[in-house]
Amino acid sequence: MNYLERFKVSPGARVKLKEFDPSFKGGHKNHKSAAEETALYQEKLRALQDLLYAERKHSLLICLQALDTGGKDGTINHVLGAMNPQGCRVAAFKEPSAEELAHDFLWRAHKAAPAKGEVVIFNRSHYEDVLIVRVNNLVAKNVWSRRYDLINAFEKDLIEHETQILKFYLHISKEEQLKRFKQRLDDPSKNWKISEADYKERAYWNKYIAAYEEALSRCSTKDAPWFVIPSNHKWFRDLAVARIVVEHLETLKMKYPRPTVDLGHIRREYHAAKDA
Instruction: Quick: pLDDT tens for 56-94.
Output: 999 999 999 999 999 999 999 988 888 999 999 999 999
Query: For residue 230, is it left (φ>0), alpha (ψ between -120 and 50) or beta?
Result: beta
pTM, whole model, 2 decimals?
0.94
Instruction: Quick: pLDDT tens for 257-274.
Output: 988 887 787 788 778 777
Instruction: Quick: pLDDT tens for 96-152.
Output: 999 999 999 999 999 999 999 999 999 999 999 999 999 999 999 999 999 999 999
Q: Specify whether the CB–CB gap between 158 and 165 falls below 8 A.
A: yes
CA–CA dist 207, 153 (Å, integer): 25
Q: How confident is the model at residue 276 (pLDDT cuts 50, 70, 90)?
A: low
Q: Smallest Cα–Cα separation from 62: which of 108, 114, 102, 20?
A: 114
Instruction: Quick: pLDDT tens for 185-237.
Output: 888 888 887 777 777 788 899 999 999 999 999 999 999 999 999 999 999 99
CA–CA dist 158, 49 (Å, integer): 19
Domains present along the chain, CATH in parentheses: 3-275 (3.40.50.300)
